[in-house]
Amino acid sequence: MDSPLPIGRPIRNSRAVILGEADRPVKEGEEGELCMTGSCLALGYYRNPERTGASFVDNPLNPDYPEPIYRTGDLVRMDEEGNLIYISRKDYQIKHMGYRIELGEIESAAAGVEGVGDCACIYDEKRKQILLCYDGKELNKKEWNLALGKKLPSYMIPGRYCYFPALPHNANGKIDRKRLKEMQNERK
């Protein structure tokens, strides 16, 4: 993906709140987590109180009365015309070597390498290292570093590359990152 995707504007009777660090509103054009509020808001996740408690919270910008908001986990910014522009998922953002990194940017660059099929990045907290897991054509570290070095700054280059004959997918057809981490731990 070369440019961020516009996802439109909130529907009638709803409002978008974009929260940055420490749940503060972002400045114009800055990115933050998309939170939704309004009369169309659901009451929570069906039979999942833990997830409901984490995602459906009181609006931190409204201390005067309880106003529920839904924390989507999506990072967005608002353009000049009031459209929401999707950046990535909050849970795919890491802090590495003092930089805030979107793992999706690394994945996009890797997906453009000839012969590579599916790919996904994982952050190894213990080793403080970015891992790129992929299938398709097997490449060595030097080939990867050369290819990604043309597209990414040095602090975003993965520390390890893990080839798999096929990456695991969940029932929705998305890469199963949880299973991928388990598979990676089994290799150690």
Instruction: Check whether 187 has a pLDDT greater than 70.
Output: yes
What's the CATH number for 97-187? 3.30.300.30
Could you read off the pLDDT of 27-65 as tens digits, one per residue?
Answer: 988 999 999 999 999 999 999 999 999 999 999 999 899
Please report, for residues 41, 85, 108, 113, 163, the alpha-carbon distance to residue 129 in angstroms, rounded to integers and kept in the order given.
Answer: 38, 29, 18, 21, 16
pLDDT tens readout for residues 105-157: 899 999 999 999 999 999 988 899 999 999 999 999 999 999 999 999 999 99
In this prediction, what percent of the chain has a pLDDT beyond 70? 97
pTM (global) more than 0.75:
no
pLDDT value at residue 186: 80
* Confidence bin at 1 (pLDDT 50/70/90): very low
Percent of residues in the chain assigned helix, strand, coil, to nearest 5: 25, 35, 40
**Contact (Cβ atoms closer than 8 angstroms) between residue 175 and residue 166:** no
The domain limits of the chain are 5-91, 97-187
CB count within 10 Å of CB 90 equals 15
Q: Residue 116 forms beta bridges with which residues?
A: 136
- Hey, what amino acid is at 111? A
| Pick from 4, 61, 72: nearest CA to 34 | 72
**CATH ID of 5-91, from 1.10.10.10, 3.40.30.10, 2.30.38.10, 2.40.50.1020:** 2.30.38.10
Contact 95, 106 (CB under 8 A): no
